[in-house]
Amino acid sequence: MKAIIQNMKLDQQAIVAVLFGAIFVVFALVLPGFLTFGNLLALVRSVSVLGILGLGMAIVVIGRGIDLSMIASLAIPTGVVMTLVIAGYPPGVGLFVGLAFAVAIGVANGILVAYAEIPPLFTTLAVGIGIAGIGQSGLFEYDIIPWPPELNVIAWIGRGSIVGIPYSVLAFVVAAFLVHVFLSRTRLGLFIYAIGDNLAAARNAGIPVRPIIILKYVMAAVIAMFAGLVLSASSSSMDTRIFNLGWIYDVILVVVLGGIGLSGGRGGVANVIVGTLLIGTIVNGMTILNVSFEAQSLIKGLVLLAAILLDSILNPRNEETAKQGDI
């Protein structure tokens, strides 16, 4: 039996896709109102911000890194944009300053990782705490910043819909398309895979490794800020406390669960989409079932554990597949 399953060559992405399919079918059969266009949109909409963050994280992880400062990059630059606009600056100026802030976070991460060669885990952890601290202690009057009406010119990215499809879902789709094109169709994208797979070999082949590592973190920070704008437009406020809430684990979860190995060089946008949809489906179904908060966390944890267990049974690690740096 085990041999038969092993012959099917299921990788983790496929396992999660099957799991997603199974849970989806069960919910569709059991839960009235689950399989409606409106609910499916609500499902994707509820995880679109998570998905966008997952895309940014995917770029970093594929290049063998990790960015724990993404939630800070989501909250603080967006908060800066909103604070400036509230203070009377035109939206364009606010957006420019916010974007510059996000790029600066990415550059800081990138330089520390690429040139100072501090492990990304520590670098981005420290930078994230620092940036969140700057925001929460000095930049904003309150930690929850209201969406200023003057910024309504761009509020559509989080609200409203076009031909029935919410813009926040479209934002995820567009971001996924762009990141997919970048990773699989451009030279820089392929270089990121090369660096993630074998940094020394990539350098020997003449790839400018360090600048590309910086670029990777800048992209993650900018994508995170984009997610922040979608989130704050959508819920009409930016709660900068989200940095303290452990969202970053959900982002890593979506990426790893989808099958992008933390050792780098593997995976793509499809993995992020599958991981995001699995989380979205579980949460949506349990909300419809009115499952309690504690039970939701428990069930979420069990499903994830099941996916990872299944993967390690079907794809056992050996000397060939296990890599140095695997977590």
Residues of this chain that bind other proteins (CB under 8 A): 33, 36, 38-39, 42-43, 45-46, 49, 136, 140-144, 146, 159-160, 166, 231, 234-237, 239-242, 244-245, 283-284, 287-288, 290, 292-294
| Least distance from other proteins to the Cβ atom of residue 212, Å | 33
Q: Which is nearer to other proteins, 49 or 303 (CB)?
A: 49
Helical H segments across the chain, by residue range? 2-7, 12-30, 37-62, 70-86, 91-114, 120-134, 167-185, 187-197, 199-204, 209-235, 247-257, 269-288, 293-314
CB of 45 to other proteins, least distance (A): 7
**8 Å CB contact between 197 and 264:** yes
Indicate the residue among 39 and 315 with the shorter CB distance to other proteins.
39
CB of 299 to other proteins, least distance (A): 14
The span from the CA of 184 to the CA of 141, in Å, is 43
What minimum distance in Å lies between the beta carbon of 269 and other proteins?
23
Closest CA to 265 of 324, 181, 206, 177: 324
Amino acid at 158: G
Identity of the residue numbered 232 = S
Dihedral over Cα of 238, 242, 243, 248: its sign: negative
Nearer Cβ to other proteins (109/240)? 240
| β-pair partners for 102 | none
* Residues in a beta bridge with 99: none
Is the CB of 67 or the CB of 250 nearer to other proteins?
Answer: 250
Residue 64 is given by DSSP the state S
**Which residue, 12 or 168, is less far from other proteins as judged by CB?**
168
**13 vs 240, which CB is nearer to other proteins?**
240
Shortest distance (Å) from residue 241 CB to other proteins: 6
Backbone φ, ψ for residue 144 (5° rounding): -105, 115
| 262, 326 Cβ separation under 8 angstroms | yes
Tell me the DSSP string of 92-110.
HHHHHHHHHHHHHHHHHHH
Smallest distance from other proteins to CB 313, Å: 33
Report the alpha-carbon angle 307-313-318, nearest 5.
120
Distance of CA 138 to the CA centre of its chain: 27
Shortest distance in whole angstroms from residue 141 CB to other proteins: 7
Considering the complex, what minimum distance in angstroms separates the CB of residue 254 from other proteins?
15
Instruction: For other proteins, give the closer residue by CB, 38 or 206.
Output: 38
Residue closer to other proteins by CB (options 159, 210) is 159
